[in-house]
Amino acid sequence: MSVFNSVNNHCLGKILELTETNDVVASDDIYDTQGVKLWAKGGKISASLQERLASRKLRTPLELTLEVENGITTGDVADDCQKVILSNPVMCHLANNKAALAALSHLRMVRLPSALKLLLAAAYENRRTHEYLHELHTIALCAGFAAYARLSAMDTELLLSAALLHDLGVLYVNPELLEPSRRLTAREWASVAVHPRVSHMVALEIGKLRDEVGMGIGQHHERLDGSGYPFMLTKEKISPIGSILAAADAMAAIIERGGEGAAYQATLAIKLIPEEFNPVLKAYICTSLRDLVSAASCGDQPCYEQTRDVVEKLDQVEQKVAELLQGAAGKVHELLAMAGNICHNVRKALRATGVDFLLQSYAPGGEGAFCGEVYHIVHEAGWRLRNISRTLQLRADALALDEQAMLAPLIAILESPPAA
């Protein structure tokens, strides 16, 4: 029996939302595990399904017994990707060429089983959401990369299938937790951070897709240096599709926001910590966006205080990690080593870009030097520190209480607000 034999209410909610625009029908009789028939084959799905299913376990996962009529197709997605490529100047530099558009056409050839068509429609039938925009940017970036790296037709199709389905696990997350303005507690973050794992399970158990596609999907938030989630995998354990998708997903998140500085920010984010991302994708981004990146696109946000706060926090975290490592063993040692490694990479980036030096040589009245490129470097560095805290909290649940207590002061430093 799989986890999908229990109905996920958030996913069911999205399917019921879909019935407002499309017919969703039972492709088979729906039974619970006691043999009680809950819905007849051919019956249109309506809100009353939710009551009938209440806390029952099903003989067959719900996703496999429903189908959507006239839902969004891979052809629709490919058309919308083309529109994104042509309308966003950054995407235009990345993918408006014959080879990339030909690579994108492989998406039209992807044949999805009806359960995945249903989930795709539940996630993206409403095409005015930022989730759909993110989806399009991720796929378009993968198509551009496939052309740049001259991937074979088969590899291109597998990569684009993974890009298409990578965030379906989000359907199973409480939508309230996805509000961009919401600051998540550790427990809430854990239920969001599990979505790549859920997407992986959907691909394998519901979609019956090839394992390399499922694995790549499950790794789309991992980082080659082990600083990603949910499993903190390092490069030896991350598949080729996983490493490409992870970098494309991160770049998509920057580029989809648009704005003049997006090309600069994407280029900076992908190369700031050289150990994080797939090097071929890094070359693709940096080479393709070369002409768009100029000093002017850095903006001029002042950031002396943020710089000082981030560097002070980095100092404190490094010190605390070194102190805790002395008495640590097993899983806690592994987590602290990961935190120390990220700090080391952030420190290296601050040195390589001159930010460390700028702060050390600061003299009163010199705040004017803290703007432009420095702002973006410090912003990226701050994100890496925040991610250490998220990862530690994500893993803390699996630790013994005394091990959790050992990590608590480190998490407290990472979560502390900047000095007034």
Closest separation in Å from C-beta 70 to Fe ion: 26
- Among residues 56 and 127, whose Cβ is nearest to Fe ion? 127
270 close to 282: Cβ distance less than 8 angstroms:
yes
Closest CB to Fe ion among residues 249, 380: 249
Least Å distance between CB 88 and Fe ion? 17
Closest CA to 217 of 244, 192, 199: 199
Residue whose C-alpha is closest to residue 250's, from 282, 226, 213, 298? 282
CA dist 44 to 22, 68, 76, 91, Å?
10, 10, 24, 41
Beta bridge partners of 149: none
Measured CA to CA, the distance from residue 177 to residue 156 in angstroms comes to 33
SS3 1: coil
Max distance between CA atoms of the chain, in angstroms, equals: 77
Backbone angles phi, psi at 36, to 5 degrees: -80, 130
Closest CB to Fe ion among 222 and 249? 249
Cβ proximity of 60 and 32 under 8 Å: no
Q: Which is nearer to Fe ion, 221 or 320 (CB)?
A: 221
Q: Which is nearer to Fe ion, 140 or 321 (CB)?
A: 140
In contact, 32 and 49? CB cutoff 8 Å: no
Q: C-beta of 252: minimal distance to Fe ion in Å?
A: 7
Residue 170 C-beta: closest distance to Fe ion, Å: 7
DSSP 35-70: S-EEE-TTPBP-THHHHHHTTPBBSS-GGGSEEESS
Instruction: State the nearest-atom distance from the C-beta of 131 to Fe ion, in Å.
Output: 8
Positive or negative, the CA dihedral 148, 152, 155, 159 is positive
* For Fe ion, the closer CB: 63 or 167: 167
Nearer to Fe ion, 249 or 256 (CB): 249
Report in angstroms how near the CB of residue 199 gets to Fe ion at its nearest.
7
Q: In angstroms, give the least distance from the CB of 107 to Fe ion.
A: 16
Nearer CB in complex with Fe ion: 102/178: 178
Tell how far CA 226 is from the center of its chain.
15
Q: Minimum CB separation from Fe ion for residue 333, in Å?
A: 29
State the CB neighbour count (10 A cutoff) for residue 158. 22
Q: Which residues lie near Fe ion (CB under 5 A)?
A: 167, 249
